[in-house]
């Protein structure tokens, strides 16, 4: 994909200017998909501040983020510009405590940070 692609520029900008970014269908208040809703729920439960990007507002972004990460589905969670995974991986990492560790290692505040 060309470096001049505006969608890729937008993705890079969002990922470098925000610690935690969630690409999702709908908004955190009104998720349009159960998988997106589940990840929002995990992040809210952990008290993590995140930037949510609603891919339903822009079809080129919806396709662009899938190509960017080589990942065919949404939602997609990024921490410090690193692709963490989709709903299954986020839920699994939450259950094992790995998500908390990853956030802490990256200096991201959570409700559990003392």
Q: Specify the DSSP element, H or E, that contains 85.
A: strand 82-85
In whole angstroms, give the CA distance from residue 32 to residue 8: 24
Shortest distance, CB of residue 82 to other proteins, whole angstroms?
Answer: 10
Strands (E) located in the chain: 20-24, 51-54, 76-79, 82-85
2 binds other proteins (CB under 8 A): no
Shortest distance, CB of residue 73 to other proteins, whole angstroms?
Answer: 5
Site for other proteins in 70-109 (CB under 8 A): 70-74, 83-89, 92-93
Binding site for other proteins (CB under 8 A): 35, 66, 70-74, 83-89, 92-93
């Amino acid at each position: 994909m060309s470096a001049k692609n505006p969608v890729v520029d937008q993705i890079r900008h969002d990922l470098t200017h925000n610690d935690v970014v969630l690409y999702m269908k709908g908004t955190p208040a009104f998720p349009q998909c159960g998988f997106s809703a589940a990840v929002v729920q995990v992040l809210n439960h952990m008290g993590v501040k995140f930037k949510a990007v609603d891919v339903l507002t822009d079809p080129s972004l919806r396709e662009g983020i899938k190509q960017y990460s080589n990942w065919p589905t949404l939602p997609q969670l990024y921490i410090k510009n690193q692709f963490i995974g989709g709903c299954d991986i986020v839920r699994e990492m939450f259950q094992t405590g790995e998500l908390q560790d990853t956030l802490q290692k990256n200096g991201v505040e959570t409700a559990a940070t003392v």
